[in-house]
Structure 1
Amino acid sequence: MFVPFSVMDFLDRATTVYADRIGLVDEPDQVADSWDSLSYGEVGVRARAMAAKLDALGIAPGERVGIVSHNSARLATAFFGVSGFGRVLVPINFRLSPPEVAYIVEHSGCRVLYVDPEISDSLRSVECEHKFVIGDDDDLLLTGVEPAPWEADEAATATINYTSGTTARPKGVQITHRNIWVNATTFAMHAGLTDRDVYLHTLPMFHANGWGMPFAAAGLGIPQIVLRKVDGAEILRRVERHGGTYMCAAPAVVNSVLDAAATWDGPIPGRDRVRLICAGAPPPTKTVVRMEEELGWEFIQIYGLTETSPLLTINRSRAEWDDLSRDERAAKLVRAGAPALGVTLKTDESGEVLARSNVVLEGYWEQPEETERALGDGWFHTGDGGSIGDDGYLTIADRKKDVIITGGENVSSIEVEDAIFSHPEVAEVAVIGVPSDKWGETIKALVVRVPDSQLTEADLIAYCKSKVAGYKSPTSVEFRDELVRTATGKLQKFKLREPYWEGRERQVN
């Protein structure tokens, strides 16, 4: 028997088995009216009402629906109300500039766009056939009407997630129902999730579909606590108030929790109960040790990409490491990890990490050349350099793609260079990632000014922020007389990075 996978399988199980259990606890400080606490039965009702609204708008299966939103119960529900009924959800990073959002809406062909009220004014210029501000639920939901059924197709695109990649324009990653299904179930298994867990959404839901956790949590009846904006003290408060047991986060979030714990009044919430799943770039070993000592939380490292749904590897402490010291165990845990179930990894002659799995993307939306480049030989080319040990564990050593990961967000150095170079007083520019204890990496611009220019660091950073999202702008600018190039005129980024990474084993932090 063959029954095609669908993202709706996860919510269907939740509404069947856990209909009366709290499924979503919305952020109480939503700019739109909060949905407060919803049972999984109520989540199911609202997902169907969302699908009915799209029926009424004439949005057919396969057509794209964009949403630009901070974490919210509405966004979590959209994974099912949109994708679960055959449309394609396009979750868009709320930190992007209006031109960046406009490009994604146009490139993906969105017919509907939902915008968070906090950013609706700034995105006023972004056009779409049907555009709504989240919060007026008459525009989001059509209650009392049964949505049209959709015959599941596991090969159909469920979401298109835009990633900066290595080009100035973002690429639309086509993730299928099968990709999501396999990622969510294997991730849940490796993380040891059960219906006794409580999930805290510290990770932006737009980011690789919240790493698949909205699906995994629903399928297991796990209450999901929405956190709109990351704050270390607030994370501790939510863990205490709701009994949180696990969360996903970039290293910067780990640091914010450790900082908040230093002034926390009373026992640290979640001790010996919380596991924090980290990705983006592994934190220093001392951070892992501090988590264990100061928080009493379990640290789990994963590695993956938006293109892989995202789980490729997982690194969780195992029985063989129980007798190791904290420092020894931490040194093992900051590796990328062992392949997840169903994932095959290898490195090619250049050291690039290649992967095969059912979690690998279908392709890049409307970019066949990029798709062929990434998948043409039957392996997904990650663009990351690394090595695989005799024990099967992957270690990422360098980034072959020209991407900087800062605070868990991918930033194309080419895109930032384009923005800076558009300044009339910039003659040359190279953008690199340099180590940052807070963000893992931060962005530095190496700039040659035109003759007689008085351009300052502050002026250039402000100018860049007017062109691209703030998190993509450099945090520092170093002015130079020249940028050394090869005989063919090429910049060698690895040589530019070397002085800043000297003494470190990895060229990613």
Structure 2
Amino acid sequence: MTGLTGHPFETGLDKSAANFAPLTPVSFLARAAGSFGASLAIIDGERRITYADLYRRCRRLASALGRRGVGRLDTVAILASNIPEMIEAHFAVPMLGGVLNPLNTRLDAATLAFSLRHGEAKVLIVDRDHAPLVAQVVALLDEPPLMIDVPAPSAATAIPGAVDYETFLSEGDPDYAWPGPDDEWQSLCLLYTSGTTGDPKGAVYSHRGAYLQALGNAVTFGVSQDSVYLWTLPMFHCSGWSYPWAIVAAGGTQVCLRKVEPARIFRLIAEHGVTHLCGAPILLSMLVHAPPEDRVPFRQTVRCATGGAAPTSTILRAMEAMGFAVTHLYGATETYGPGTACVKGADDLTEAERYGRMARQGVALTTVEDLMVMDPATRAPIPRDGRTIGEIAMRGNTVMKGYLKNPDATGRTLAGGWYHSGDLAVWHPDGTVEIKDRAKDIIISGGENISSLEVEEVLSRHPAVMLAAVVARPDATWGETPCAFIELRPDGPGATETELVAFCREHLARFKVPKTIVFGPLPKTATGKIQKFVLRAQAQAI
């Protein structure tokens, strides 16, 4: 360091193998296998995998990939449900120094083909359940990557031209001496965002970021060696919010789930003593509205983390009644998933105050360096008054390195040394942030700002409403007015437009009440978020 040459604290105190190693989440598995190798790492139906077995399998996969020509910073893509092989890929590819690209199983073939070309994948690991989709993808590629076929219970026919997964593993060395990263800033994962316009952007994660995010999640969510984590969150989404690494870091057990079905979720929770699960708000809604015959009682309290739009008080109350303790998180693909968490408030809150606080996005995770709600124009922090609206920004080791091959988008998103979320929020005196809307979702009616989230919260309290989404609709007089799209509960009392408008007038200022209400199924993204850009287009056409 300048000015410190020759200083006693800078002389003879050098980095060596004894006191420094690049941070990598792969080390979590090496430790787990050495410390409690006989402990159960993964449950998948009747299948059981111990930590010792998991480590051997991951080393075989890494070794086999290397023998097939995959090297440092080469991309290995995987298209799979929440199966053990997806967990194995999250350790084996980084072991080799490669970059893992988990692909969204719910995207169309053209988008997946773009991702494979853009990321230059040399290998594609495929869950056979998705063979028809892969056939469409391969038809769009001039040079398909080496394909590895993972058998699935419901798909008997092998993928043409692909190597069987277990056969491929047999090519590898179970004692492979994995090199790990040359530097902890080395790229580890490539995650494509599901953008609403243009081509997807590929967020790049580092070994250091993944290591710290995993630990931050484990601390925030209270994960330990006794934890049993059920995979209700897609592992392709932000690498499962880094939980493939976080659960291994703690030495817990992961329970795989190919398809999110309420009846199966309740059964697995009871059967395996599940303690933790994550998911988008749509998951909570599915559990709450599951018919009585699908519900299996369980004794333990299950910690449930959810991201996306804040859960409504109705959903929170129903989840608690079933035995779930809900934690609201906030983040993005660009922040390795969760960047903030809503921590417990004071004990003397009323029920309404408690649910209101639980819906906040909360405070920064331990491993996030800094969180701010800023004035978008000046990038100065806004007052912590709970009223002034600004943009959420974060910075630290758990912010992506940037977008692959997209310096312009990287520069805009990471401008001024901050990750700019595009989410508008207020900052409370206690340091918690509360999202009011996406910048593009604020409705400006007659010069007044209307939070679509506020209107949705009120609509969701109606006993007939299962899901509500509110967007702006052009209005000749007011510029914009709220337009509500409603998905009714199949077993509910039903509701008319007149009834819902009257209900809103009881709980909202008159200018915030929707002028238009549309009934029907709501379009959702691959991760269960409501596609407001689709609804905005529909509102424009009404």
Q: TM-score range by the shorter chain?
A: 0.7 to 0.9
Deviation at 1:270, TM superposition (A): 4.2
Cα pair 1:244 1:270 within 8 Å, conserved: no
1:131 aligns with 2:113: no
Deviation at 1:130, TM superposition (A): 0.9
Partners of 1:129 and 1:215 in 2: how far apart? 26
1:108 to 115, 119, 126: 119
Cα pair 1:345 1:356 within 8 Å, conserved: yes
**Aligned to 1:392, what secondary structure does the other structure show?**
coil
Deviation at 1:473, TM superposition (A): 10
Partners of 1:178 and 1:386 in 2: how far apart? 29
1:149 to 156, 171, 178: 178
Question: Normalization by structure 2: what TM-score?
Answer: 0.72
**Aligned to 1:178, what secondary structure does the other structure show?**
helix
**Aligned to 1:121, what secondary structure does the other structure show?**
helix
1:395 aligns with 2:395: no
Where does the alignment leave 5 or more consecutive residues of structure 1 unmatched? 29-35, 406-412, 414-431, 439-456, 484-495, 497-509
Partners of 2:248 and 2:487 in 1: how far apart? 35
Deviation at 1:77, TM superposition (A): 0.8
1:299 aligns with 2:299: no
Q: 1:196 to 1:332 in 2, by over 3 A?
A: same
Partners of 1:43 and 1:60 in 2: how far apart? 22
1:39 to 29, 50, 55: 50
1:489 corresponds in structure 2 to: none
The worse-fitting range, judged by mean Cα deviation, of 91-100 and 145-154 is 145-154
For 2:123, give the aligned amino acid.
Answer: V
Partners of 2:329 and 2:315 in 1: how far apart? 16
Deviation at 1:328, TM superposition (A): 2.5
For 1:284, give the aligned amino acid.
Answer: T
2:405 to 366, 384, 399: 366
Partners of 2:406 and 2:433 in 1: how far apart? 30
1:122 aligns with 2:148: no
1:340 aligns with 2:365: yes
Within 5 Å, give how 1:85-484 maps onto structure 2: 85-125=96-136, 126=138, 127=141, 128-135=144-151, 136=164, 137-140=166-169, 142-144=171-173, 146-147=175-176, 149-152=178-181, 153-165=183-195, 167-260=197-290, 262-263=292-293, 268-271=297-300, 273-293=301-321, 295-318=322-345, 320-321=346-347, 323-343=348-368, 344-350=370-376, 351-400=390-439, 434=485
Note the alpha carbon deviations across 1:281-307, whole angstroms, 9 max, x for none.
1111111111112x1221111101111
For 1:131, give the aligned amino acid.
Answer: M
Partners of 2:393 and 2:336 in 1: how far apart? 15
Partners of 2:95 and 2:207 in 1: how far apart? 9
For 1:84, give the aligned amino acid.
Answer: M
**Aligned to 2:341, what secondary structure does the other structure show?**
strand
1:80 aligns with 2:91: yes
Partners of 1:276 and 1:12 in 2: how far apart? 28
Cα pair 1:134 1:140 within 8 Å, conserved: no
Partners of 2:265 and 2:94 in 1: how far apart? 29
Deviation at 1:94, TM superposition (A): 0.6
Question: Normalization by structure 1: what TM-score?
Answer: 0.76
Greater RCO structure (CA 8 Å; 6+ sep): 1
For 1:316, give the aligned amino acid.
Answer: V
Cα pair 2:424 2:435 within 8 Å, conserved: yes
Deviation at 1:239, TM superposition (A): 0.6
Flag the structure with larger Rg. Answer: 2
2:161 corresponds in structure 1 to: none
Q: CA RMSD in A?
A: 3.1
For 1:8, give the aligned amino acid.
Answer: V
Q: 1:394 to 1:261 in 2, by over 3 A?
A: farther
Cα pair 1:65 1:113 within 8 Å, conserved: yes
For 1:71, give the aligned amino acid.
Answer: N
Partners of 2:201 and 2:33 in 1: how far apart? 35
Deviation at 1:471, TM superposition (A): 8.7
Cα pair 2:266 2:295 within 8 Å, conserved: no
Cα pair 2:213 2:367 within 8 Å, conserved: no
For 2:342, give the aligned amino acid.
Answer: N
Cα pair 1:55 1:147 within 8 Å, conserved: no
Percent sequence identity is: 30
Partners of 1:216 and 1:358 in 2: how far apart? 16
Partners of 1:262 and 1:337 in 2: how far apart? 33
Partners of 2:351 and 2:125 in 1: how far apart? 46
Deviation at 1:252, TM superposition (A): 1.1
Cα pair 1:289 1:326 within 8 Å, conserved: no
Cα pair 1:211 1:309 within 8 Å, conserved: yes
Partners of 2:118 and 2:441 in 1: how far apart? 23
Q: 1:214 to 1:261 in 2, by over 3 A?
A: farther
**Aligned to 1:124, what secondary structure does the other structure show?**
helix
Partners of 1:231 and 1:307 in 2: how far apart? 28
Cα pair 2:214 2:249 within 8 Å, conserved: no
The worse-fitting range, judged by mean Cα deviation, of 471-480 and 49-58 is 471-480
Deviation at 1:92, TM superposition (A): 0.2
Partners of 1:397 and 1:165 in 2: how far apart? 21
1:60 corresponds in structure 2 to: 71
Note the alpha carbon deviations across 1:4-34, whole angstroms, 9 max, x for none.
1012111112101120011011246xxxxxx
Deviation at 1:352, TM superposition (A): 1.5
1:450 corresponds in structure 2 to: none
For 1:279, give the aligned amino acid.
Answer: G
2:59 corresponds in structure 1 to: 48
Deviation at 1:381, TM superposition (A): 0.5
**Aligned to 1:217, what secondary structure does the other structure show?**
helix
Partners of 1:279 and 1:114 in 2: how far apart? 28
Note the alpha carbon deviations across 1:429-479, whole angstroms, 9 max, x for none.
xxx9956578xxxxxxxxxxxxxxxxxx9xxx9xx99xxx99969987987
Where does the alignment leave 5 or more consecutive residues of structure 2 unmatched? 1-18, 152-163, 377-389, 443-451, 454-470, 472-482, 490-517
Q: 1:117 to 1:326 in 2, by over 3 A?
A: same
Cα pair 1:159 1:176 within 8 Å, conserved: yes
Deviation at 1:251, TM superposition (A): 1.0
Cα pair 1:27 1:72 within 8 Å, conserved: no
For 2:229, give the aligned amino acid.
Answer: Y
Deviation at 1:147, TM superposition (A): 3.2
